[in-house]
Chain A
Amino acid sequence: MNNKFEDDEVLAQLSKSARKTKELKLDEGIIQSAISSKHNIGRRKFAAPALMFNLAGAAAVIFGVFVVTGPLASSNQEVLSSGALDQLSKIEGSMALAMGHVKINEEDLLARDGKSLAEFGQSAVGNYVSNGPPEYVDEIWTGKGGTSYGNLWVFVVTDAVYTANFDHPVLDKMLFADSSLTTSLGEAQVIRHPDQIARSSDADGIRLLIQGDSNILYPLVVPVNQEQGSLYQELRDYILSTTFTKVPTF
């Protein structure tokens, strides 16, 4: 019996309806084992092929893989350089970007080009999103660190919506997990995300919104880099490959 709900008939009814569950008696050894474990959960997760994209129809409007190949941005925005964004807190900067109130300019993006995925993740996510240490974000992007809880999903915007049908190492790298990146933008933002992504930058490139478990959206742009083997090329090849199904939405 839960006296907490005496004054609430509905919750009291719910509480009383649950039969008492017989839980497993857990031993303190579990905690001791946890302490002495070799922290390999994150690595195991990243190596697993279970994380895949499978988006369908209208669902993709709410959550999915989107690719932007051209600017869809509206024009009445304030453009701030990364320097200006740096004056905001990382959280404020991230929110402002995701909400389309500010944009990353092309110069800033190009300055980040030629970096590894990890470096790019560090600079883009680390500067604007994460309030965790850059080294940690770096580890997450490379899959060397990370955690086994919390899923951050990648959104890519284009002139159409593509759905990914199966697993791919590129996107695997981008499906990372880290609760330290979670600071909520609020649910209201989620339904507007295609527009947010489109407005996150005027720069050409693949725009990503990374969605956290709490409906958090983190903007990230992979600038155009025609060099073979660049992240841009790798991503673009993947996105435009037959592994995606084009879904006309906007």
Chain B
Amino acid sequence: MYDLHFCDVGTREILRGVSMDQDKFVATFRTHLQDVSKYLTRRVEISNVEDLASEIFEIAWRKRESCPEGFELAWLYKIAGFVVSNHRRKLSRRVVMLPLLDHDRSAPSAEDIALDGSSVAIAFDLLSSKDRQILSLFVFEQLSVKEISVALEISENSTSQRLKRARERLARNLALQVSDTHEGGH
């Protein structure tokens, strides 16, 4: 009766939150402090890292009941993505309204990641923020597909497809860069 085949119920239905008291919270997230720092360093000015990290952990504490057990880091990245997005929006200092993929505002640029090798940097920057975001989570944050699905609140299937498409587009951009370089040389 209901055509729900597009619907992505998501991982939240499957992953159950874990009850955390103060000690467990500290013990759980202490190990991820540097991961969060790295994540932020790749996306914001170093001077903002500490403040944003504080905000991330404040939110994490308040929302700890919804933290899926076994996916704590991915869940932190989910929060971090929104915090970075909001941070960037504030920085933009313009009257802003809803980028459709607001969450993707947290995607790093080639400059953020300090990519060297101009062809890779250009190829990466040519990608949409959505592609950069998912590739970054996979390559630099080294999350698994399952973890990315938690961080982005999409299904594993969608994650795999998005990842595959992003990788294909990156490959295409890289090939174009190589081609341009060769043509420029002649």
Contacts and interface: CB of A to CB of B under 8 A. Distances in A.
A54 B97 contact: yes
Contact of A185 (B7, B22, B100): B7
18 contacts: A10-B170, A14-B124, A15-B140, A23-B38, A28-B30, A31-B29, A31-B57, A53-B98, A55-B97, A99-B2, A147-B59, A147-B62, A148-B55, A153-B98, A180-B66, A183-B12, A184-B153, A184-B154
B102 A91 contact: no
Nearest to A56: B97
A14 B135 contact: yes
A103 to B, nearest CB: 13
Q: How large is the interface on B (under 10, 10 to 19, 20 to 34, 35 or more residues)?
A: 35 or more
B69 interface: no
Interface of A: 2, 4-5, 8, 10-11, 13-15, 17-19, 21-28, 30-35, 37, 39, 41, 45, 50, 52-55, 62-64, 78, 91-92, 95-96, 99, 101-102, 147-151, 153, 164-167, 179-180, 182-190, 211, 213-215
A215 B101 contact: yes
Contacts of B60: 34
A74 B117 CA distance: 55
User: Residue among A11, A45, A62, A149 with the most chain B CB within 10 A?
Assistant: A149
Interface in B157-173: 158, 167, 170-171
A174 B73 CA distance: 30
A155 B36 CA distance: 33
A8 B90 CA distance: 37
B46 A24 contact: yes
B95 A52 contact: yes
User: Residue among A23, A45, A180 with the most chain B CB within 10 A?
Assistant: A23
B79 interface: yes
A212 B57 CA distance: 22
Contacts, number: 218
B61 A35 contact: yes
Contacts of A28: 26, 30, 33
Nearest to B47: A24
A97 to B, nearest CB: 10
A151 to B, nearest CB: 5
Contacts of B6: 99, 185-186, 188-189
Interface of B: 1-4, 6-10, 12-13, 22, 25-26, 29-30, 33-34, 36-38, 40-42, 46, 49-50, 53-55, 57-63, 66, 78-79, 81-83, 85-86, 89-90, 94-103, 113-117, 120-121, 124, 135, 138-140, 142, 152-155, 158, 167, 170-171, 174
Contacts of B9: 91, 183-184
A30 B61 contact: no
Contact of B103 (A24, A78, A96, A214): A214
Contacts of A50: 89-90, 96
A2 B120 CA distance: 16
A92 B33 contact: no
A19 B2 CA distance: 50
Nearest to A20: B114
Given A26-B34, A92-B2, A95-B7, A215 B100 contact: yes
B54 A33 contact: yes
A18 B9 CA distance: 35
